[in-house]
Amino acid sequence: MENVSIIGSGVAGLCVARALLDRGVKLRLFERGEGIGSHACSWWAGGMLAPYCESESAEEPVFRLGKESAEWWDKHTGEVHRNGTLVVSLERDHADLRRFKRRTENSIDVGPDEIARLEPDLGDRFTKGLYFENEAHLSPRAALASLREKLILDGVDFIHEEVDPRVIAVDGLTVDCRGFAAKDALPDLRGVKGEMVILSSPDIELSRPVRLLHPRIPLYVVPRGDGVFMLGATMLESSTRSRISARSLLELLSAAYALNPAFGEAEILEIGVDSRPTFPDNLPRIQRDGNLIHVNGLYRHGFLLAPAMARMVAELIFDNSTPEMMHEHFN
Amino acid sequence: MREFYGTKLSNALMLGTAQYPSPAILADAFKRSGAGVATVSLRRESGADKEGQDFWALIRKLGVHVLPNTAGCHTVKEAVTTAQMAREVFGTAWIKLEVIGEEDTLHPDTFALVEAARILSEDGFQVFPYTTDDLVVAERLLRAGCEVLMPWGSPIGSGQGLNNVFGLRAMRAHFPDTPLVVDAGLGLPSQAAQVMELGFDAVLLNTAVAKAGDPAAMAEAFSLAVNAGQLAATADPMEPRDMAAPSTPVIGKAFLS
């Protein structure tokens, strides 16, 4: 098998590298920054492997393909926590909880006692919720680091250089996983801005991602262990990758405070902003232009969908099949 | 049909563009409903560098009249600045003017609304003010230069339908020549049909379509309802009455059979 070049070392690039390596390819991987860091969208991900909850607003492929993800991440990184997801709302928003239940599968109704058993720190505060026991979460930074380390051990050549995919593709098969930076080649791509906060609170313990439904300010909190939590995330039609607005920060923190007032005493560790690379249907795509294969548009589903996208790239290259998420109309 | 600042609309349904599962589904909703106007918010997404332009390009591609709005503005100054940016971005003098006065009900600040409407009208804008069914405020808005009024049905996003049918009917009677649009609060197509039966010129809604399980189907349902209501209004509906009036005459019939 020929050599393959991958450009971009975010979640898409690393997963594609893993999938191709397992098929016996010799790989080199170009990355803009050195190592994993805040220059990649994946750095700021929530890390929820929640195909059931996401199906409330996402289309069917996200649900079906996302179900592969927990096992994949477990096998390749061992970083997965399979504790499910808890969805709650304040009393006045119980209609949103009913809608959420109607539009998703496999939820279990939980009352105050069950909520207290699942998450003792939320027990007194919520009377109704939904529990999705088949969901999982991971810590994105730890998972990416683990994936990367194994790739290096397995002989992948990481090159810290910003390169033009078209130039690299002259020498052989190239997979462009640059995310939003690939907009020069993929004009349909737009950015959906997300803002998030990482907090440390010794007063709160959570074992699983918790989603607080709200008509205006929905919130999720993902425990990172050691009293660290990620609050996310806004969804704004904007390609800016910096600058959190005061309003977004106020809303995220207020929602967290509504979940448990002890978050008011938490220490703010980080504030993150990035823009999710997204196509108009909010679904990911594989596009091929000769030697150059694009994998992009993972939107808010990077960790959920990258394993399936990587599998499809391998199928495209080795099995000569046309994968499901292949986008034929190259513009 | 009354014209909106000289523009005749082919379809009396106006749709918002926020909260859809994806822009592709948003485009479907417009296609299936034939909605004639898309209202779009600039406030939240706009940074100093107009960072929402990829999304705005998708809105322009819908091929309908774009009605930019000042959603999320709380003061005259914010609303005026946002309107000016909207004019620049979309190249239209139309602006849906929204100045929020109260957070829980999103009740318009009608004092600031009138003031902002005056400033914008003098600056050449064609203002679509989001207001209540208050006739005095309506009068002031017209005096400030507005040629369209957009009273609420009920609070934004509440899906409560028409909270004050009496007030809306009074408004229609009071301003027979002004194009009137019910904006906000609608949850079901039947409510949109009722708006049109009252003789209104259009309805504007967002959440009821965007948050439906199948937004495109719901958009079409609203479109059918709006057309039905509009047709009914032109067909001169019967007057309701207190007593039964049989549709077949009884006189002359053998009633002791």
Full 3-state SS string of A268-321: EEEEEEEEEEECCCCCCEEEEECCEEEEECCCCCHHHHHHHHHHHHHHHHHCCC
Q: Which residue has the tokens 């006692």?
A: A113
Q: Which residue of A has its CA nearest to B50?
A: A238
pLDDT score for A43:
86
Q: Which residues of A touch B44 (CB under 8 A)?
A: 236
Does the structure show a pLDDT above 70 at B134?
Answer: yes
Q: Which residues of B touch A58 (CB under 8 A)?
A: 21
Q: Which residue has the higher pLDDT, B215 or A242?
A: B215
Q: Which residue of A has its CA nearest to B54?
A: A190
- Interchain proximity B27–A193, CB inside 8 Å: no
- Strand B13-16 with A292-296, pairing: unpaired
Q: Which of B31, B50, B96, B211 is catalytic?
A: B96
- Strand B37-41 with B13-16, pairing: parallel
Q: Which residue of B has its CA nearest to A239?
A: B51
Q: Which residues of A5-36 are buried (b: 16+ CB within 10 A; e: fewer)?
A: bbbbbbbbbbbbbbbbbeeebebbbbbbeeeb
Angle subtended at Cα A76 by Cα A70 and Cα A77, rounded to the nearest 5 degrees: 85
Nearest-angstrom CA–CA distance, A303 and A66: 9
- Interchain proximity B54–A237, CB inside 8 Å: yes
Of the candidates B22, B46, B47, which has its C-beta nearest A282's C-beta? B22
- Interchain proximity A57–B21, CB inside 8 Å: yes
What average pLDDT does this structure show over B162-188? 95
Asked if A5 contacts A133 with a C-beta cutoff of 8 angstroms, the reply is no
Our answer to whether residue B31 is catalytic in this structure is no
Does the structure show a pLDDT above 50 at A135?
Answer: yes
The structure's pTM equals 0.87
Q: Which residues of B touch A281 (CB under 8 A)?
A: 22-25
Which of A223-232, B44-53, B83-92, B225-234 has the lowest average pLDDT?
B44-53
Nearest-angstrom CA–CA distance, A240 and A248: 14
Nearest-angstrom CA–CA distance, A15 and A6: 11
Q: Which residues of B touch A189 (CB under 8 A)?
A: 54
Of the candidates B21, B49, B157, which has its C-beta nearest A282's C-beta? B21
Nearest-angstrom CA–CA distance, A331 and B7: 35
pLDDT score for A243:
84
How confident is residue A157, by pLDDT bands cut at 50, 70 and 90?
very high
Asked if A131 contacts A107 with a C-beta cutoff of 8 angstroms, the reply is yes
pLDDT score for A182:
94
Q: Which of A92-96, A274-278, B189-193 is the most confident on average? A: B189-193
Nearest-angstrom CA–CA distance, A265 and A136: 28
Q: Reduce the DSSP state of residue A122 to 3 states and report it.
A: helix
Q: What percentage of chain A reaches a pLDDT higher than 70?
A: 99
What average pLDDT does this structure show over B111-138? 96
Question: How many beta-carbon contacts under 8 Å exist across A and B?
Answer: 51
Which among A57, A62, A186, A238 is the top mutation candidate for probing chain B, defined by the most B β-carbons within 10 Å of its own β-carbon? A238
Does the structure show a pLDDT above 50 at A331?
Answer: no
CA distance to partner chain A, nearest, from residue B234 (Å): 38
Nearest-angstrom CA–CA distance, B245 and B257: 21
How confident is residue A85, by pLDDT bands cut at 50, 70 and 90?
very high
What average pLDDT does this structure show over A19-46? 87
